[in-house]
Chain A
Amino acid sequence: MIRQFFILSSKGDPLLFKDFRGEAGDDVVNVFYRRVTALPGDQPPVVMALRDLHFLHVRQAGLYWVATTTADASPFTVIEFLNRLAALVKDYCGGLSEKSVQMNFALIYELLDEVLDYGYIQTTSSDMLRNFLQSEAVSSRPFSLFDLSNVGLFGADTQQSKVAPSSAAARPIQAGREQGGRSEIFVDVVERMSVVVGSNGVLMKADVEGEIRVKCFMPSCSEIRIGLNEELSIGKSQLRGYGAAVRVDRCSFHQGVRLDEFDSHRILRLCPSQGEQTVMQYQLTDDLPTAPPFRLFPTVERDGTGRLILFLKLRCDLPPKSSAVNVCASVPVPKGAVSLSQELSSPDQSAELQLQNRAVAWQIPRLAGGTQLSALFKLDVPGLSSASMLEVGPVGLSFELPKFTATGLQIRFLRLSPVQPAPSQRWVRYVTHSDSYSIRI
């Protein structure tokens, strides 16, 4: 049983507050925010108790989603509910941000009314809820030139027909007529890499966790069939030929996925509900099929004047056609570093010394496969000793690899049934990003 529910912005402003039982305390919101911020560190405990009232919260998109309850509710249920609610809000509003929540507060209240009745959870199925919700989402789409290119003068084949921006998927499931309401389906193959590279360049740990997410905006779709690579093999047991197989160690599926064709043809069948769902999750442990995407060749020196000189060479080992975007290398530096002078190889890169993290962050907007970048950082560290040299490293990398999957998993095809009358649009996106990619120095 949930007593109150509220959403706080990251600064503590209440965006939404609903009291289900009519027994709201004086100001639970402020109490909660004070307790959350009072705690040091980045991650406050999910469940906090204040006398007989329990606060449970999750953070999604920088917002605090908080529910309060008395001792009788199962915390896991509540947490699961909060996550689910956030997903619903995301589906219905098209995106999750402070702004979208503010703009769609009416819709969210409506949603809450349907989902929770007197503090008891009714349903979270988006297919059911669709019938009850009346208001339409207000989405704030920033004006972009990209939309203009969509026009397609003289029937020309625009870029739009080949690619769609990543924001295209962020649209409410109940779009108004003016927003097009196209029937579209988006498939995300997202992989997270956690890699540890030793100081000698040896790969010490390499894990990939991936998931296939389907975002469906098709009112009349009863079943989709997603074909994965036929050579996908699961586990180590399967005897395969030399053909570089796509291998994952473990995988798990959404409960609605039917697997009758998975064994023979690697086809997932599911009846998607509107909105987003994770169809398949998989893991690959300690055995990347390709070389890790980045290698770093660091040189750390101390020059005569007590300055620390960091020379970093970053090599991208992706295939030449693909590239990495939003690469950020953060190098921890010794305590007391005060200033940074830098020599970067191109103007679009940037580097700054983040004093609160005691790290140098080197930003590279784009790094093509097979290329190599170098950077020279000179740090003024008063009182630099050889002991503080040891504080340098390990380097953490964050990046995004578009159109690339570390495991090699790909969507072979996507079939809809019944066959859609209107030309439906199917989009797929492959992304690999870094969970933690650390290179020891």
Chain B
Amino acid sequence: MAHFDTEYQRLEASYSDSPPGEENLLMHVAEGAKSQWHHIENLDLLFLNTCYVYNLHQKNGFTCMLLGELFELVQLLFVVCFTVFLANCVDYDILFANKFVNHTDSSKVTLPDALIPMDVCGARIRDNGFVIFVLIISGVFWLHRLVKFLYNVCCYWEIRSFYKNALKMSMSELPYATWQEVQARIIEIQKEHQICIHKKELTELDIYHRILRFKNYMVAMVNKSLLPVRFRLPVLGEVVFFTRGLKYNFELIFFWGPGSLFENEWSLKSEYKRGGNRLELADRLASRILWIGIANLLLCPVILVWQILYAFFSYTEVIKREPGSLGARCWSLYGRCYLRHFNELDHELMSRLSKGYKASSKYMNCFLSPLLTVVAKNVAFFAGSLLAVLIALTIYDEDVLAVEHVLSSITLLGVCITICRSFIPDKHMVFCPEQLLRVILAHIHYMPDHWQGNAHRYETRDQFSQLFQYKAVFILEELLSPVVTPIILIFCLRRKSLEIIDFFRNFTVEVVGVGDTCSFAQMDIRQHGHPAWMSEGKTEASIYQQAEDGKTELSLMHFAITNPHWQPPQETTHFISQLKERVHREAAGAPSETHPLSLSESEPRSLVANLLAGPSTLASVHFGRDSSLINAAAGLSDGASALRSLSPVSSSLHLRGSLSMAQRASGFTGKAMSGSGTDARTVSSGSSAWEGQLTSMVLSEYASTEMSIHALYIHELHKQQSRGELSRHTWHRRESDESSDSIPDEVRSDHNPQSKTFPRSHTFPTVVSSPSATANSSKPKGQEEDKSQSQRRHSGPATDHLGGAGRPVRVARVPMGGWADDGQAAPRHHEAVPEESSEDEMPPHIHKVT
């Protein structure tokens, strides 16, 4: 053999002398700068807890976090003690003056009078078994929280020193640093100190993956409609039930509870990665779900009491202060999952949804039922007149207040009027749902296909209200949750155990330096792209692997835009640049002509105004620059007409321009100004903005606007694209792999009268299961297939609300090619999911060499 001049390097002996068999994660990396970090192992563990780094940042530093958690503990203690106190130690008879206190000097009742003496009170508590029980339970709970708190403090203390020493950020400046900055520093520090020892360089994606590992799984599971959160109830129709308690239980089952699917925070248990004994694993999961469900059932009274108390203490004050808040809305938990991109951090989601809040509530307000309005108007009138009289009397003589229940009726009437008022539409409101919906879409980025063009329908509103629910409903659901959660767990989730096992096996990838993550979160167009969402031809995903609603594509865009420094892999870069180029081209083409994206007609100015109003401080800049652009392009001098012809594309084009300009800092300023020198406003506002500090905040505002435009564009294109082949796609989600050859169905579905009633598309997930579905799925496979086939024939694209004769026939949700029922479906399932055969138990390609 040849002779080499290469020298041998010493293999560092640091960890190699540990006894064999003991697997520590600390491996030596052959090359790389050594540093003064002596505790590489700690750092890497710490790095595995990137979530903590993120949390500490989100909680504005160590002190805030500490205080917050401490107060939470105290609050808990207070709630319990105060409730017990109220229930046992207050003599309500005295308080309500049903019983007289024999005070000698005055007739005034003082607060101490109403209190039962300590010893009596203590005896009462001791005698009451239920109170003792509640106290014990809450004590255990509190201790658990305390231990967790102490543990967290230790963790966060380490993270704090990490911030201080490694990232060189003091806690005081943390609240004012954006996450992007922190992230940039982490990436930088990795280059120097190799804090993640498995990998030379970290990317933004790695960090996001570490933070959002479980959330990505949840998003993907909601996206693939795996979690039983939608139900069809007899009276209420389709409802979504997804509460914090339910979510907690899901996480407990999948991610971190005892015996969960995950071994530790970053890796799935290895047996779940193999396909061999999936049935057995599914059985095990099912029994685990059953046990957790039963535990939930047993603990139900305690949790219920807790929920009620908690709701009472946290909301009563708010309701009293502003009763309208009950009529206010909030994004539901399900909505948050449905609308969340893969790899989107909490604060990003929050800001996005908050931006969409105004438009959304406006949209919802469009749909006040006329009947209710009439009733509300009259109720308000009567209540108002009563109230007016009472108030007038009080003003005349305040002794009226002393009359029993006058004060309370005044309060009640006030509340009543406020509630009624929320049902009376604003006189000056314009009914323009389609437009509003588009504005909403610009912020929330996801929307089922069938909403567009149907924005004025009540069904759309109902479905939107699943994402954007009343606060009151939210509270109610939370209160109901302890009762409903065990039922869902036991009866709905358990049936899905096999699907869940398959999901985790098929969609988990191991990324070096990150651990096991959801493969959807890789945002790989090739593997999870949906052909109807711009990745036609690029995706190799089977239907089972495609993310719905263009989630992969939109997430990718979102991630690429929020992290401009991220370098995606090649195909992905290609996709992004192609998309950007398309947007660019459309804009450069004929903005005033009717190109696919000419929203200018359907969207007069509200969209643009809204888009621009997003970054409010910069609105003027945009405005000025917009008009200057139009000036140059179309030769229009009038500002108003410029606005009218301004399509989002052109604004995007130029937003991008401004974004890149912003990145290039102010070097460009001169040119930009000379170009728009005719417009005085531009000069003034422009210069102030450009010469002012271009913080990353500004950039992120631009990014979000740019993302909005891209989201709109992608949706628009998707609409265009799917219009041609609507029926084909409609079927994708229902029967996954048979759909490609089901042309007759498409034809039939066209004359289906139902499809006219309300075209619902597949993209909005529908009811997951029902009793009849259970029946279906338990039938032998052939029959079941038959059924679903026939079902498909006569139900058209509409899900089926009128399905069979009276009986709601629903497809048994066989989204994964029908292998959800049992092993019989295996051959079919093979094409959809490349199943790992038993080969994978052996190391691949072993040949013996002598």
Contacts and interface: CB of A to CB of B under 8 A. Distances in A.
Interface of A: 80, 161-166, 168-169, 186-187, 190, 223, 225, 227, 230-231, 234-235, 237, 239-243, 245, 250-255, 259, 262-265, 278, 281, 325-326, 400, 402-403, 410-417, 419, 423, 425-431, 433
B846 A227 contact: no
B477 to A, nearest CB: 37
Contact of A427 (B3, B11, B19, B198): B11
B509 A239 contact: yes
Given A161-B10, A259-B843, A400 B5 contact: yes
Nearest to A322: B31
Interface stretch (B20-28, B433-441, B613-621): B20-28
Nearest to A213: B1
Interface stretch (B217-225, B513-521, B662-670, B717-725): B513-521
A186 B8 contact: yes
Interface string B577-592: 0000000000000000
B621 to A, nearest CB: 37
Given A254-B849, A412-B27, A169 B8 contact: yes
Contacts of A169: 8
A426 B30 CA distance: 12
Contact of A251 (B16, B198, B845, B850): B845
Given A241-B522, A415-B18, A166 B8 contact: yes
B393 to A, nearest CB: 74
Contacts of A237: 844
B10 A427 contact: yes
Given A164-B7, A433-B4, A253 B509 contact: no
Contacts of A254: 848-850
B16 A402 contact: no
25 contacts: A163-B7, A163-B10, A164-B8, A166-B6, A186-B8, A187-B11, A230-B27, A231-B198, A231-B512, A252-B845, A253-B847, A325-B6, A403-B9, A413-B16, A413-B27, A415-B18, A416-B17, A417-B19, A417-B20, A427-B11, A428-B11, A429-B4, A429-B8, A430-B30, A431-B4
A400 B512 contact: no
B511 to A, nearest CB: 4
A230 to B, nearest CB: 7
A155 B846 CA distance: 47
Interface in B506-558: 509-514, 517, 519, 522, 524, 527
**Top-4 shortest CB links A-B:** A241-B511, A252-B847, A427-B8, A402-B6
Contacts of A259: 843, 846
Contacts of B850: 80, 254-255
Contacts of A161: 10
Contact of A227 (B27, B199, B513): B27
B56 interface: no
Interface of B: 2-11, 13, 15-20, 23, 27-31, 198-199, 203, 205-206, 270, 509-514, 517, 519, 522, 524, 527, 569, 841-850
A411 B23 contact: no
Nearest to A146: B7
B427 to A, nearest CB: 55
Most buried by A among B9, B31, B513: B9
B9 A429 contact: yes
Contacts of A227: 27
A124 to B, nearest CB: 10
A253 B522 contact: no
Given A242-B511, A245-B512, A415-B20, A234 B8 contact: no
A166 B3 contact: yes
Pick from B3, B8, B18, B846 the residue with the most CB of A within 10 Å. Answer: B8
B499 to A, nearest CB: 19
A255 B849 CA distance: 6
A190 to B, nearest CB: 8
A75 B41 CA distance: 55
B467 to A, nearest CB: 31
Nearest to B836: A237
A287 to B, nearest CB: 13
B10 A223 contact: no
Contacts of B842: 263
B848 A253 contact: yes
B217 to A, nearest CB: 15
Nearest to A427: B8
Contacts of A240: 509-511
A253 B849 contact: yes
Contacts of A165: 7-8
B539 to A, nearest CB: 15
Contacts of A253: 846-849
A241 B509 contact: yes
Nearest to A404: B6
Contacts of B517: 241
A243 B20 contact: no
B9 A243 contact: no
A150 to B, nearest CB: 13
Contacts of A411: 11, 30
Contact of B512 (A243, A416, A417): A243
A255 B527 CA distance: 38
Contact of A428 (B20, B30, B522): B30
Contacts of B847: 252-253
B17 A243 contact: no
A168 B8 contact: yes
Nearest to A264: B270
A234 B839 CA distance: 13
B507 to A, nearest CB: 10
Given A252-B848, A413-B28, A426-B11, 15 more contacts: A166-B4, A187-B11, A223-B20, A241-B511, A241-B519, A243-B511, A245-B512, A254-B849, A255-B850, A415-B16, A416-B16, A427-B9, A429-B4, A429-B8, A430-B6
Contacts of A430: 6, 30
A163 B19 CA distance: 26
Contacts of A168: 8
Nearest to B270: A264
A243 B19 CA distance: 30
A392 B17 CA distance: 56
Contacts of B30: 410-412, 428, 430
A413 B15 contact: yes
Nearest to A424: B13
A230 B23 CA distance: 13
A250 B512 contact: no
B16 A426 contact: yes
A433 B206 CA distance: 34
Contacts of B3: 166
A423 to B, nearest CB: 8
A265 B522 CA distance: 23
A368 B203 CA distance: 27
A400 B17 contact: no
A130 to B, nearest CB: 19
Contact of A225 (B8, B20, B849): B20
A256 B5 CA distance: 29
A176 B19 CA distance: 31
A83 to B, nearest CB: 10
A423 B16 CA distance: 12
Given A161-B10, A234-B845, A255-B850, A402 B5 contact: yes
A181 B705 CA distance: 71
A254 to B, nearest CB: 5
B27 A403 contact: no
A319 to B, nearest CB: 11
Contacts of A239: 509, 519, 527
A400 B206 CA distance: 34
